[in-house]
Structure 1
Amino acid sequence: MILAVTMNPSVDISYPIHEFKLDDVNRVETVRKTAGGKGLNVARIISQMEEKVLATGVLGGTIGEYIVQELTKSDIENDFLRINQESRNCIAILHDGKQTEILESGPTLTADEGAAFLEKYESLLSEVSLVTISGSLPKGLQMNFYQQMLEISHEKGIPVIVDSSGESLRQVLLHKEKPFAIKPNITELSQLLRMEVKQTIGSLKHVLNNELFNGIEWIVVSMGKDGAFVRHGEDYFRITIPKIDVINPVGSGDATVAGLAVALSRNQSVETVLKTAMTTGMLNTMEAGTGYIDLAKFSQFFNLVKVTKID
């Protein structure tokens, strides 16, 4: 079973608007509400790929109850730390081929609540073979909180995929116990290294040799429509994907993490792992809902993904 962690879950609300007008009334005919947060998108797609998944994190209030109801409706097992505060809403306005996001910050956790979650997390590890940790930390938790989770996982021999950014990711990489995999995009990589990273093979090979990444088995640098650049151990790969009709790009990075997690948990070959991750990412963009794929299309698009080893 895969454990999908979302420390700051939300209800994701999507407003598709043909022509977004500032300082005016914008009417929306179709509203989509999803149990969201990056880790819940991951959990949903893992479930759609017919792999066992357990969703966890911290939630509370009526929004938290809605999230649990939606996960239960989708037959996704879940076990969250409940708090007295209200979980958050996150709004995406889809307009003119663009995406404008309005993200609530969510609850502020106490030190006791953080400690309580770490206890729950440790107990859940006895049931799982791989962990995904996705998204931002709630206010109130120290920036090294993910690192604390990683240390607990390391003690139990459970590999962890971390999909975060900024200081919380930096803290994860500054310590001896490294994640099994990370999935930054170019912008996140640039922020992490505090330098402009160019989307070229030479530049990416150079920056992924940074000592910050020592000990990480998989580094998947996602590049949107341009596919990905990957370091696996000492090997480098360029992955290209076909041109597709994008309906909703929200959650495509999470779908990539889900595909990566499923393929790794199944001990598949390097090429299959990379093609699976890219395929789930693509399939998510082709659906109106966030964190959804049409599994019937998987083989078709899997076969269109090209993996090239870089010397």
Structure 2
Amino acid sequence: MILAVTMNPSVDISYPVDRFKFDDVNRVETVRKTAGGKGLNVARVIAQMEEEVLSTGVLGGTIGDYIVQELNQSNIPNDFLKIKNESRNCIAIIHEGMQTEILESGPTLSKEEGTAFLEKFEGLLTTASLVTISGSLPKGLPTHYYRKMVEISRNKGKPVIVDSSGESLKQVLIHEKKPFAIKPNTAELSQLLGFKAEAGIMDLKQMLNHEIFKGIEWLVVSMGDKGAFVRHGDDYYQVTIPKIEVVNPVGSGDATVAGLAVALNRNQAVESVLKTAMTTGMLNTIEAVTGFIDINKFKQYFDLVKVEKID
């Protein structure tokens, strides 16, 4: 079973309007509300891949209740820690070919709530075979919180995929107990190392050979329509994807993590792992709904992904 962690989930609300009027009334006829957050997208795609998954994290208030209701309706097993404060809404206003986002920062957790979730997390690991940790930390938790989760997981022999950024990711990487895999994009890689990540193969090889990544089995650098550049152990791979018509790119990174998690959990060969991860990412971009793939199209797109080992 894959344990998918979302520490700062949300209800994602989409408001499509023909023309966004400032300092005036904007009426919306069609509203879409979904249980959001990177880890929830991961859990949904894992479930659509017909792999056993359990979604966890922290939730509070009526918004938290709505998220649980949505997950239950989608038949996604979940076990969250209930917290005192209300979970967050994230609003996207779709207008004139643009998207304006209004993102609530979310609840502030107490020290006691942070400790309580770590205890819950350790208990859930008993039945987990692999862990994914995705997205930002809520306020109140220290930047080394994910590091603690990775350490707990590693101590129990459970591999962890971390998809985060900034200081919380850096804290994970500088610790002696490393995650099994990370999936930064080029911007996040640049932020992490303090200099711009170029798209050239030699530059990327040099960056992924940085001391901070020592001990990590899988480094998957997502590069949008250019595919991905990957270091697995001491080997490097360039993964290319076909040109596709993008409908909604939001959540494609989460879908990639889901595919990576499923393939690793099934102990697939290297090429199959990389092709699966890229395929689920692509399938998300051709659907209007975030964190959704049409599994019936999987083989068609899987066969179009190319993996080349780089000497």
Q: TM-score range by the shorter chain?
A: over 0.9
Cα displacement string for residues 207-261 of structure 1 (whole angstroms, at most 9, x for unaligned residues)? 1010000000001100111111111111111111111111111111000000000
Partner AA of 1:84 in structure 2? K
CA distance change for structure 1 residues 242 and 107 in 2, over 3 Å: closer, same or farther?
same
Deviation at residue 197 of structure 1 after TM alignment: 1.0
Do the aligned partners of 1:6 and 1:38 also contact (CA within 8 Å) in 2? yes
Instruction: Report how far residue 28 of structure 1 moved.
Output: 3.6
Q: Give 2:292's aligned residue.
A: 292
Residue aligned with 1:230, SS: strand
Corresponding residue for residue 187 of structure 2: 187
Match of 1:3 in 2: 3
Q: Judge which range, 42-51 or 18-27, deviates more.
A: 18-27
Instruction: Give ranges in structure 1 of 5+ residues lacking alignment.
Output: none
Identity over aligned pairs, percent? 75
TM-score normalised over the length of structure 2: 0.97
The 8 Å contact of residues 248 and 284 in structure 1, kept in 2 or not, is answered as yes
For residues 2-55 of structure 1, what are the alpha-carbon distances to aligned partners after superposition, in whole Å with 9 as ceiling and x for unaligned?
000000010112234455555555444432211110000000000011000000
**1:68-108 Cα shifts (integer Å, max 9, x gaps):** 00000011110000012100011223445544332111000
Structure 1 pair 231–24 and aligned structure 2 pair: CA distance change class (3 A): farther
RMSD (Å) for aligned C-alpha atoms: 1.3
CA distance in 2, matches of 1:17, 1:304: 36
C-alpha distance in 2 between matches for 1:197 and 1:24: 42
1:279 maps to which residue?
279
1:271-300 deviations in Å (ceiling 9; x for gaps): 110010001001111111110000011010
C-alpha displacement at 1:66, in angstroms? 0.2
Is the counterpart of residue 201 in structure 1 residue 238 in structure 2?
no
Determine the structure 2 residue equivalent to 1:136. 136
Whole-angstrom CA distance in 1 between matches of 2:27 and 2:272: 44
Q: How does 1:20-99 map to 2 (within 5 A)?
A: 20=20, 22-23=22-23, 25-99=25-99
Distance verdict in 2 for CA 1:207–1:22, change over 3 Å: farther
* Matched length: 311
Residue correspondence of structure 1 range 213-252 to structure 2 within 5 A: 213-252=213-252
Change (3 A) 1:89 1:308: same
CA distance in 2, matches of 1:191, 1:25: 39
Describe the shift of the 1:73–1:210 C-alpha distance in structure 2 as closer, same or farther (beyond 3 A). same
